[in-house]
Amino acid sequence: MRPEQLRLALVVGMLMSAALLFAYPVYPKMNTEVIFDDQAAIRMREEGVQEENYQLVLRFSHDEGGQITSNLSRVQDLMQLEEEFLDGSNPQTSWEYENLYIDRVITPFSAWSDAFESRNRSLENASQWANVLLPEIEGGWCGNDATDEEQGAFEATLLMLPEGTNFGVACPAFSGASATQPPATNEILWLVYVGAGENGGDWNELNLWAEKVSENSDYEISAVGVNMMYGKAKAIAEEELKFIIIPSIFLLGAMLTIGLRDWRTAAATIGGVGLVICAELGALAALGFEFSVLDGIALPIIMGVAVDGAFWYSRSSRERDEVRSMLFVAMITTIAAVSLALFSPIRAQRSLGLVMAIGILLDWVLTRYVLEEFYLARRVVQEEMVDSSQAGLSITWAWPVALLVLASIAVISPPGVHVLEVEQFLPEDDLALEEMEDLQSKYVLASSTIAWIIVDVEGDSQPDYESVLNLQQQLGQHPSVISLETGLLQTPMVIGVSDSNEMNTIDEVFEFEEESTMFQDLRMQKNGVTTGVSIAVFIDGRDSDAAMQFSDDVEELIADNGMEGVIGGDLTVGAAAAKNFENTRVTQILLAGVAIFLVALFALRVPIQAGRIAVGAVAIGAAVDGMASIFGGRGVNTALAVLLGMGFAADYLSHASAEHRPTKLDMSARWWAALSSISVFILMAMTAFPPARDTGRLLSVSILFSVILATCLALMHRNDAMDAE
């Protein structure tokens, strides 16, 4: 195939891939599923009897303040609101959104209604509290004689009313409570279980509903909780990334125009990188790739990487073949470093690493096979050699000194790794974080998190049923498990298979017994046959160390009971990911160095050059990892920035590693390419979305370190070349 035919085929192919975006638009997601792989959650989605849904939380208070639960008219208002929310009978309060559908709603009042109905009393038809509270229910809903519905109402009251509430009939055993009085509080929570469409859940729709109903009712309603924080993070990320893409294009175009002194070359480069991004997104979307909002961080990075070829072809003094070799080595070493993310246990790292690697490869393909001739045709040929009077023996020390400085940054940086949690995706001053802290201080439900334990059992086996009951009892004795305390008894929050005197197997329990307040059928099934059961355990959501210890202890407990299973949950998996990263981050940097050395050696066939590239890349990686800690804390979010920083180091060092006497044009190409990339990354660093902000900061630093280190290496080669003469 002739070169012009190849260029045409590549351009047409990329245009066709970009056109796929019309048929397969990108809908990025932002939740725990696209951040890390939770094996328990995956199994529940694949084998769970119930369809997958997400727990969202609504917070209610009255516009005029004051009590809600002790005011019967307000209680009945909210019961009516719940009915309208589900049946859509009132347009002012109905649900009318597309990306989420309501699966079920759990409210304290619906649980109370069921509790009163179990004693033939009607909360809906009552005209005063005495109608349902008298005659007195001895022991209340937490007493020994409480019905199943009353026990459920007690659980709902503890979970969805704030601490410090006078629990009244819910549990007269509490100090100051009485069975003749209703619970008394000025705010409550609703649990809303929603399903998401194929394009992923847009949690902001619940915010929209809350705002609409707040305007059309006497109640102030807000959507809160962890999932809503992920929704807020998604909204911030989309807004911020939209904000920087257009300015990045103009800024990069301006830097290219100034550096190259040729607006046509700048326009061709910008057009090319735009085509690369659209082609990649279209092809991946058509193949069913599930994008996360975090993948959007790759777009300005791909733009920043694309400028290398323009400067080296159009601005340097090197020949075509030499530039080809340099850019090829730069491409494969960068991809070698970034590709280590593909083996990460963190799904978000694998996803972002793949998008970056493909983008970097396509950048190189476009530069090498489409734009090369254009760049060379626009080239201004000059031979501006560096003045030999500037050379001195002391410059040979620049390379080792630079390496020592980079190593010192790694040594003095603070230790420690942040746990991967939702707070890392929101600005520090975001009001959602303050509201979450307030919730956690008031509600058991908000201060806890669920650890999911799935054990393999047979649904029709009585021994397996007894083994699960025994396991649940043992789990309840773990110090990390939150317990509901009445003053008379302590109930661990372990929800799984209920203990029944009449049922003998797990299948019988779930088919004939009442479901729990919060969860429905918890069985795992394949082809209608029960193969396992999930157990929800509430643990402290603010203690990651305790979560990791709980996970380790439960693994031993399952093994001791002769059972098999998996453990999951946002905090347990996130904490384990952070621990794994902390234990392997140094190894990851070294492995990236080895990968860079091997691919550089394969391409260059010169061990000394490959060794210099690898050593410099490791030094940059260690320094960038140290800077991550200095900037605010290293974590799983910063790991990919470290690998990419090593890729940039390999890129710039590959330009400088050859035994080539540098010229002013070479120095100009190197520094203008660096400054152009840095301009985009600085723009990223100015965003409010923490992953984009942190990545922008670290990549700006890594490019700066890399270009300085590459300059030091090039100056050392200058002396070597001149000494040889």
For residues 38 and 449, give the distance between their C-alpha atoms in angstroms, rounded to a whole number. 14
Q: What are the CB-based long-range contacts (under 8 Å, 24+) for 364-367?
A: 364/309, 364/327, 364/328, 364/331, 365/10, 366/10, 366/14, 366/272, 366/273, 366/275, 366/276, 366/306, 367/272, 367/306, 367/308, 367/309, 367/310, 367/313, 367/327
491 pLDDT band (50/70/90 cuts)? Answer: confident
CA-to-CA dists, residue 608 to 65, 335, 598, 639, 723, angstroms: 75, 21, 12, 28, 18
d(CA 567, CA 539): 13
- pLDDT-derived band at 662 (thresholds 50, 70, 90) equals low
Sheet with strand 100-106: strands edge to edge? 100-106, 187-196, 54-62, 219-224
Q: Collapsing DSSP states into helix, strand and coil, what is residue 568? A: strand
Residue 491's contacts (CB-CB under 8 Å, 6 or more residues apart) are: 483, 484, 485
pLDDT at 380: 60
The predicted-structure confidence for 88-142, as pLDDT tens digits, reads as follows 889 999 988 877 888 888 899 999 999 999 999 999 999 999 999 999 998 899 8
DSSP 125: T
The amino acid occupying position 648 is F
Identify residue 237 by its one-letter amino acid code.
Answer: A
Q: What are the extents of the domains in the chain?
A: 3-27+231-425+575-724, 53-224, 458-562
Question: If you search the block for the tokens 């809350």, which residue do you land on?
Answer: 210
Q: Is 433 in a helix, a strand, or coil?
A: helix
Region 186-213 average pLDDT? 81
pLDDT digits (tens, 9 = 90+) for 605-621: 888 888 989 999 999 99
Give the residue carrying structure tokens 């019967």.
72
| DSSP reduced 3-state for 126 | coil
The angle formed by the CA atoms of residues 71, 73 and 77, to the nearest 5 degrees, is 120
Q: Which of 109, 110, 91, 100 is nearest to 56 (CA)?
A: 100
Q: Which residue has the higher pLDDT, 3 or 405?
A: 405
Reference 374, options 328, 326, 320; nearest CA is 320
Q: In degrees to the nearest 10, what's the CA dihedral of 593, 595, 598, 599?
A: -110
State which of 193-197, 408-412, 629-633 shows the largest mean pLDDT: 408-412
**Which parts of 261-346 fold into alpha helices (H)?**
263-286, 298-305, 307-315, 320-338
Residue 716 corresponds to which amino acid?
M
